[in-house]
A and B are shown apart, each in its own frame.
Chain A
Amino acid sequence: MRKFAVGDLQVRQLAADVTEVSADLGGERCWFRIPADRAVPWRGDAWAVASLLPAMAKGLPLVIDSAMPVCPVLLANLEQLQRMFRLWGPALGVNFQPIPIEATTAPAPPGNQVGSFFSGGVDGTYTFLEAPTPPQVAVFVEGVDFQLGNPIYRESLERNRVWVEARGAAMLPMASNLRWVGRAHGVRWGAFFGAGLAAFSHALGLKQTWIAGGLSWKDLVPEGSHPCSDPLWSTASNDIRHHGRDALRWEKLERISQSEGALDILRVCWQDRGFNCGQCEKCIRTMVLLRLLGLTSPNFPALPSSGLVRRLIPGDQIEAIFVAEALDLAAARGDRHLEAGLAQALRRWRMRSLASAVDRDLLGGMFRGLRSKIRGGSGTA
């Protein structure tokens, strides 16, 4: 019978200060490169968390090597998570199927240190500053917010380190290819990042982990990281919590601007074109918020004109929610130019959604199929 096997755990010293731990996840080699001084006993928790959604996407029984025991609390939680992600599958664009899980169990050893994920962005910085139990370590993962091998990672790491250490915490850098392993199994990072971040936190042996939420309590749309699902990735010794839904994005930006130097390290861009490209949707809406709040960051150019905003098209529902929040702020602050630009961006998104619904419901997906064919033909798929 076919199965999604997790095993072949290997630990090797890559450099004096870096240990690489890797395992085979359903035929893909997944690795975590962590500081050598994190003496973590190697178990199956991180790998079970990392494998659940890929195994469900493939509809294969998840079988974890008996040498990699899993915390019984986590194992019970994985059943709950299966139910949740099955329901969310259509919204996340993945057909998650229920699967049996075969694993040996053993209580997880106590974790140490409270951590939060931190890359110098709006959500991570807000959570770092506002989490009810202050993080002792800020985990910065190469391969998540930065592509592996991006030279800007080093620059950002050093800037973040100075800022974090000035606040009495330590920077904890690590690297992983988990994002790409998920993609190889058909699960994009947007559906997977809660599990991915939880896997990193188990790999680092933390005792409590804050995952920064992006949206507010107003919008509880299915996402890879969600206040309902994130705590379920916990073990008995690593309490994983979702944080930051209490504030809108602009409120977070306003809050972090009060922390000295936070805007000097602000980096939100995923495009790997410089520190912040200043052209992508995420950069533009951050620049919009900075302008509306009367703030400046040396990492962003000033917003040139509302023309740039008018060209903005939210790529999905979540981006549309952020644009709508910015629109409300522009209206409240009386910035008519930005308000008009953002309203137009939102209208474009709605028209695009409507067109896509017409194609799906009335035309049987004709245009979508055609577009896929064209993209396939031009080799850009």
Chain B
Amino acid sequence: MTQDNVMPGRVHKAPENFLDPQGIRTVLAQAREGRRSFIRQAFAAAAAGIAAPVALAEGNPIPSEGGDPNILKLPEHSTGLGQGVATDGYGKPSKYESNIQRRQSPGLTQTTQASVSFAPLQSLFGIVTPSGLHFERHHQGWWDVDPSKHRLMINGMVKAAKVFTLDEIMRLPSVSRFHFIECGANTAVEWGNVAVPTVQYTHGMISCSEFTGVPLITLLELAGADLKKGKFVLAEGADGSSMTRTIPMSQITSGEVIVAFGQNGEMLRPENGYPLRLVVPGIQGVSWVKYLRRIEVGDMPWAAKDEAVHYIDLMPDGSHRQYTNIQEIKSVVTTPSGGQVLLDKGFYNISGLAWSGRGKVKQVDVSVDGGRNWRPARLETPVLSKALTRFNIDWVWDGKPAIVQSRAVDETGHVQPTYRQLRGLRGTRSIYHNNAIQSWLVSESGEVKNVQLS
């Protein structure tokens, strides 16, 4: 890798594999020299000092003419005739919302077909990701597949191999459930050091939707699958990569694995696997095979490419953890978050998302002093198993530096780890399954920065 095309501070050419060592060294050196001690001092001073009285809001002053022209002078939309119904047969967001887009992280991959786009978590409310903003991960490009020609085959350790059309699958009893899908490589670029500026790029490979479909167990029973000896199932996609992943039968017999065609009240979007994808709650996104064409029942795992070369977690002793499927307890504050600027001192609603692949989120705590003291946040309803959970907490910003963090606990009692704990066990080169507590530094200017603490 040549040095002249390296842009430190972001990841270069890293198809889930390489953090550029030169870039990391530069970032670390920068962080050590000067800036680190400056912020340490600024923060120590803020922690020791007495909170200054909060200034009144200045963002909405009374103009000299004695009133806001937006009130005094009636706008066109109050004095004219608006547009008619069905001007647009499929409505779109306001033109003022055009900044809210899923985006690629520059330099992360060299192609767009084997790549990732990140959901704009900093701009989303509640727990549902709008389908058009759902993160994307394609291994060999996406397709808009003709649903009348799509087939699902079930074979292997079954009484009779079966073929289903979409018409037939959609005639079966269906369920609708909210679940998060998170890429196993979400937050991967941050394992070693801060690499990207905003929550979109640190945590944006997660989305949450209401999925509608048929429990896979229904289809397996229709084929007469051997549920005892057939301990494993292979799911295979119909796209170029024909993505394959091994799923344990025990999870399928629980009824939670769904062959889904619906997403947020409409059909799946093409980028998310139209017309059929697997929904494997709590498990990393790569198992949610898109354009699902085949299910095979077998008695051993398949060691497919994406469970033998990628999506394996490197440990400090040089071994790899294989078949690491569960997305463990994790949370992140989305507002305020990196790359934003607070308007002024005063009241803010700190808001964020928490999730666990092992069930419901039980508790989220928030710290504004870098983890020294914590307050329990409000969990907003609904709190659903293996779905995103929205949390909120009141905060009055005094204009001094603050480090905002969230820490989630799931119903099994598993507490989200710190970076120090995670690196102590798994090192810094594990790539996948980084669920460490995220820190956002609110500086005196109001600008929020992605930081990692010692």
A and B interact physically? no
Residues of A within 8 A of B (CB): none
